[in-house]
Structure 1
Amino acid sequence: MSTHTQTSVAPEVARPAQYLGFSLAGEMYAIELLRIREIIEHVPITRVPAMPSAVLGVINLRGRVVPVVDLAAKLGLGPRPITRWTCFVIVEVMLDGERTALGLLADSVSEVLDLGPDDIEPPPAFGTRAPVHYLRGLGRQEQRFILLLDLDRLLSADELLGLVGSTGGGA
Structure 2
Amino acid sequence: MEQTIEKESVAEEKVIRVEGGKFLSFFLGKEEYAIEILKVQEIIGLMAITPVPRMPAYIKGVLNLRGKIVPVMDLRTRFGLNEIEHTEETCIIVVQENQYLMGVIVDKVSEVADIDGEQIEEVPTLGSGRQSEYLSGIGKVKESVKMIVDVEKVLFDVPDEVLENNGSAAPAGPVA
| Short-chain TM bin | 0.7 to 0.9
Deviations 1:40-93 (A, max 9, x none): 011111111111211000111001111000100111112122100110000012
2:171 is matched with: none
Indicate the percent of aligned positions where both proteins have the same amino acid. 37
Q: Shift of the alpha carbon at 1:17? A: 0.2
Whole-angstrom CA distance in 1 between matches of 2:151 and 2:109: 17
| Aligned pairs, number | 145
1:100 is matched with: 100
Q: Shift of the alpha carbon at 1:16? A: 4.2
Output the aligned Cα RMSD: 2.2
2:85 is matched with: 81
- Tell me the TM-score normalised to structure 2 length: 0.76
Cα gap change, 1:21 to 1:53, in 2 (>3 Å): same
Give structure 1 stretches of 5+ with no counterpart.
1-14, 167-171
Match of 1:64 among 61, 68, 75: 68
Match of 1:26 among 17, 23, 30: 30
2:10 is matched with: none
1:125 is matched with: 125
The list of structure 1 runs, each at least 4 consecutive aligned residues, that deviate by more than 4 angstroms after superposition, is none
Deviations 1:105-141 (A, max 9, x none): 01110100100011111111128x7611111111001
Deviations 1:88-108 (A, max 9, x none): 0000124xxxx1211000111
2:155 is matched with: 155
Whole-angstrom CA distance in 2 between matches of 1:82 and 1:147: 22
Is the 1:122–1:138 contact (alpha carbons within 8 Å) kept by the matching residues of 2? yes
Give structure 2 stretches of 5+ with no counterpart.
1-18, 165-176
Is the 2:95–2:102 contact (alpha carbons within 8 Å) kept by the matching residues of 1? yes
Deviations 1:16-50 (A, max 9, x none): 40000001122100000000000001111111111
Is the 1:52–1:163 contact (alpha carbons within 8 Å) kept by the matching residues of 2? no
Cα gap change, 1:29 to 1:163, in 2 (>3 Å): farther
Is the 2:20–2:120 contact (alpha carbons within 8 Å) kept by the matching residues of 1? no
1:8 is matched with: none
